[in-house]
Each structure stands twice: as C-alpha cells, then as structure tokens.
C-alpha cells in the first residue's frame, strides 16, 4: 500500500497529466485516462527509483494497471472498434493490452526479492510508457475526433464505475 507521500506524488502527477491532456483538447474519458496514466506512471517511477518500495507498491500498481486496462477494454475500445476510422487503433491496443496482462501476471507470480523481478518490472515500465505515449498522442486524439466530445464525456462515468468494480476484485 502506498504511503501518504507516494499517494500525493501519484495524484499530483495524475492531475498534471490531466491538465496537459485538456490543453491538447482531450476531454471526458480521454482526459480521465490520461490522469490515470500519470498516477500509475508516478508509482512505477517510485519503485524504479527505490526497490525497497516493491512490496508496498506492487499490489497497488497491479490493481491500477489491471482495472485501468480492463475498464478501457470494456467501455472505450468497443466504441472505437465499431468505427472504421478507429478500428485498427482498437485492434492494436487489444494486442498490447494482452502482452501487458501477461507481463503483469508474470511479475505477480515472482517474488519481489528475486533477481528477475527488477528486470521484469523495468520491462513493464517501458511497455506502459510506450502504451501511454501511443494512446495519449495518437489514439486518444483520433478517437475523440471520431466519437465526438459529447460521447467522450458520456463514456467517462461508465469507465470510472467499471474501473472501480474491477479494482474491488483484483
């Protein structure tokens, strides 16, 4: 479980990401997803900078990654898959989400003090950073253009509700 400082840093980073997303014109679900990216990115960096935080932060990182990706897969990407303009983006995302899920499971099955845990976690961090970059700079703007601002706003509460439900089961 993150301590107060870890939580504050994650929230602050998330807020900054949301502001940047808004400045780039993203709204609703896409702004919220960018905020979540910032929060998880901050937690990943905390572990990479201080391996002593592995045991404390890994459960939260795992929960956040799984609930974020599953909520996206259930609420956002089916909408994008239904449109010709964004179908390829959705399919590419699905493939990356599967790879990410496999790596999360592998890390979860590995003891945090094992020598292989660090390199696996660094690979995860790299995958997440690539995934975030692709979503925020390529997928989200195209998706918002395709579905419109109103639909992007409508999807936000649904995504948040599903994410919360999933997080409770992870």
pLDDT given for residue 53 in this prediction: 95
Instruction: Compute the distance between CA of residue 59 and CA of residue 129 in angstroms, rounded to an integer.
Output: 19
Domain residue ranges of the chain, discontinuous segments joined by +? 4-169
Q: What pTM, to 2 d.p., does this model score? A: 0.93
Q: What is the DSSP string of 110-130?
A: S-TTSTTHHHHHHHHHHHHHH
Are 32 and 18 spatial neighbours (Cβ–Cβ below 8 Å)? yes
Confidence of residue 140 (pLDDT cuts 50, 70, 90): very high
Classified as helix, coil or strand, 3 is coil
Query: What value does the mean pLDDT take over residues 102-129?
Result: 97
pLDDT given for residue 133 in this prediction: 95
Are 146 and 76 spatial neighbours (Cβ–Cβ below 8 Å)? no
Instruction: Compute the distance between CA of residue 134 and CA of residue 158 in angstroms, rounded to an integer.
Output: 23
pLDDT in tens, 19-37: 999 999 999 999 999 999 9
């Amino acid at each position: 479980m993150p301590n107060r400082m870890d939580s504050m840093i994650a929230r602050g980073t998330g807020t900054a990401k949301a502001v940047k997303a808004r400045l780039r014109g993203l709204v609703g679900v896409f702004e919220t997803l960018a905020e979540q990216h910032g929060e998880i990115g901050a937690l990943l960096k905390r572990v990479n900078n201080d391996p002593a935080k592995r045991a404390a932060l890994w459960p939260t990182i795992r929960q956040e990654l799984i609930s974020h990706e599953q909520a996206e897969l259930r609420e956002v990407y089916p909408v994008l898959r239904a449109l010709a303009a964004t179908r390829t983006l959705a399919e590419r995302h699905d493939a990356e989400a599967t790879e990410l899920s496999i790596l999360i499971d592998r890390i979860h099955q590995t003891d945090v003090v094992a020598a292989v845990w660090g390199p696996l976690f660094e690979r995860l961090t790299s995958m997440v950073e690539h995934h975030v970059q692709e979503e925020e700079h390529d997928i989200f703007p195209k998706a918002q253009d395709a579905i419109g601002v109103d639909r992007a706003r409508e999807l936000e509460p649904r995504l948040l509700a599903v994410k919360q439900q999933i997080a409770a089961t992870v």
